A and B are shown apart, each in its own frame.
Chain A
Amino acid sequence: MSLLQVKEVTHSYGSRSIFNWKDRSKKVLSDISLSIEEGTCLGLLGKSGAGKSTLGKVILGLERPQNGQILFQGHDIYTADNHIRKKIRRNLQVVFQDSYSSVNPRMTAERIIAEPLENYEKLTVAEQKRTIVELLERVGLSEVDLKKYPHQFSGGQLQRINIARAISLKPKLIVLDESVSSLDMVNQTLILELLRELKEDFGLSYFFITHDIKSAYTISDTLGVLEKGELVELYGSKNQFFTSEHPVVKEMRGSILAEHPRYRSVRTREKHTKSI
């Protein structure tokens, strides 16, 4: 059984009241079906406005879809009993793009990471502190950072704290919604590396939402492409992305920037004047 199954999910935004006889709602997801196996990462690519984040919210249980089901370990997350839903929430964590607005600016790093632990685990003060220090060390920070406030960290460091908080309850699935997109290249690579290590150590699964083909390719095992609310392509192996003939995918591939000036395509006229 798959860890997470999304079955024929359809969702739209907008008002449809009895006073609004005309249907003004906008369909953002139509008939999405996919599944994530334990210990794997599904990357979801799409342009801005394609509905990527909405699908993330639907999976997290933050936005109830109008049609369809989300099954987590076989339980429908919207209709399950309360005690099951509590268990599901523990196993389903999220890291957003904007690291700074994901934390309370008045809390120290220690309290930020302690929050989920306080809600779910009954730890003594000493145990909790030890767990937090372990988590900080696991994501590449140290004990000295315990008493720091969010504004004292850089974007990359703060994203590590968000990741530490997400893994604190040893979840099964983490939704990563553009989690590395606002970081600079060096930090992006470091965070992706960390995510890959954590995935192996804890047997985590990821739902990795991004518009960046390179980072999706780096971390994913399977890959989906969302366009205007429709899942146009779903690959069992990420390499199929590079052979697909679908026009949307072709356009996406065309937007990848060159890795080396030899392959540049923007300044084509001078391309050959400086060949090596």
Chain B
Amino acid sequence: MLGTEHPNVLQVSDLHVHVKSNNGINTLVQDINITLKRGKILGLVGESGCGKTVTSMSILQLLDRKTKTIEGSIVVKGRELNGLDDKEMRKIRGKDIAFIMQNPMNAFTPVFTIGHQFIETIRSHTQWNKKQATEIAIEAMHHVNLPNPVKLLKYYPFQLSGGMLQRVMIAIAACLHPAVIIADEPTTALDVNNQKIVLRHLDKIRSEYGSAILLISHDLGVISEMADEVAVMQNGKIVEKADVFQLFDEPQHEYTKKLLNARSILHLDEPIIHFA
């Protein structure tokens, strides 16, 4: 089903997002060109407020169309998404493009159990009945090493820790084998001890299902662990795009250098090489 005829599962070209306000029209992001290949990870880095999240939201067509206009083309598996109506978009979100949000605590509805929300996602995209969907959910949760999935399905979101909820969200995102996963700061809200575990599971999904991942993060540690390619964003524009090794070794743009320097002030290189 993953179109082998489209090696570029996600292609964003000339994306511009404008917002209408009382003071006229403001541009949030401009000239965004991204290509994402099957099974690859593209890291998107930048300071808070530089337009990383707006980019991901516009790919999912989640921005409010009354106030924001999206120009350009967003092609997923050969299909143009920009301008698609809500009904069609709903079929794509969760199935072809999965979204992993920053704060797992707010991403779930507090009034329904994990199982309810998990099964709802599966059933809205497939013909499976409740029993089959439950089996799929349990299997997906096994896959991200969640202990005792049958019991977990009956829990409410507040009964789980942030790290576990984030793994549940990854399981939901992965269970329908999406072509593209957009992970918006997937580990920022987590304890350091959980970060690596969550990243490992994300990578497992990628290598097993061939999903392409758009990984948004301000943490260069996350990027250096995960990404194949990196795009650096500043004030709504991509200022540099390069292979991850090249970017860390020979940053071209001033802003990239500044970001990398912000990291190296921590003087941690030596001990980490020995013990990581």
Contacts and interface: CB of A to CB of B under 8 A. Distances in A.
Interface of A: 47-48, 154-155, 183-190, 192-193, 211-215, 217-218, 239, 242, 251-267, 269, 274, 276
A269 B263 contact: no
Nearest to B202: A266
Interface of B: 47-49, 161-162, 191-193, 195-196, 199-200, 203, 207, 218-222, 224-227, 243-245, 248-249, 258-259, 262-269, 271-276
A187 B218 CA distance: 11
A274 B272 contact: no
A259 B263 contact: yes
Contacts of B243: 274
B225 A267 contact: yes
Given A253-B276, A259-B221, A185 B193 contact: no
B49 A154 contact: yes
A185 B220 contact: yes
Contacts of A252: 192-193
B268 A269 contact: no
**Chain B interface mostly:** helix
Contact of B219 (A190, A218, A257, A276): A257
A164 B263 CA distance: 25
A263 B268 CA distance: 12
A273 to B, nearest CB: 10
B248 A218 contact: no
A266 B226 contact: yes
Contacts of B196: 254-255, 257, 265-266
B245 A261 contact: yes
Given A257-B195, A266-B200, 11 more contacts: A47-B191, A186-B262, A189-B262, A242-B275, A252-B193, A256-B221, A256-B276, A257-B196, A258-B276, A260-B224, A274-B243
A185 B225 contact: no
A184 B207 contact: no
Contacts of B259: 185-186
Contacts of A253: 275-276
B263 A218 contact: no
**By DSSP majority rule, is chain A's interface helix, strand, loop, or mixed?**
helix
A259 B224 contact: yes
Contacts of A215: 266
B266 A214 contact: yes
B67 to A, nearest CB: 19
A64 B193 CA distance: 30
Given A255-B195, A266-B196, A276 B249 contact: yes
Nearest to B218: A184
B272 A185 contact: no
Q: Residue among B258, B266, B269 with the most chain A CB within 10 A?
A: B266
A183 B203 CA distance: 25
Contacts of B226: 264, 266-267
Contacts of B245: 261-262, 274, 276
Contact of B276 (A48, A217, A265): A265
A194 to B, nearest CB: 12
Most chain A CB within a 10 A radius of its CB, from B203, B227, B273, B275: B275
A156 to B, nearest CB: 8
Closest 8 CB pairs of A and B: A257-B221, A184-B218, A242-B271, A189-B262, A266-B225, A184-B48, A261-B224, A253-B275
A274 B245 CA distance: 8
B224 A257 contact: yes
B144 to A, nearest CB: 14
A125 B92 CA distance: 61
Contacts of B47: 184-187
A190 B47 CA distance: 13
26 contacts: A184-B218, A185-B47, A185-B262, A188-B262, A189-B263, A214-B266, A217-B266, A217-B268, A242-B271, A251-B193, A255-B192, A256-B192, A257-B195, A260-B224, A261-B225, A261-B227, A261-B248, A262-B245, A262-B248, A263-B224, A263-B272, A264-B224, A264-B225, A265-B276, A266-B199, A274-B245
Contacts of B219: 185, 257
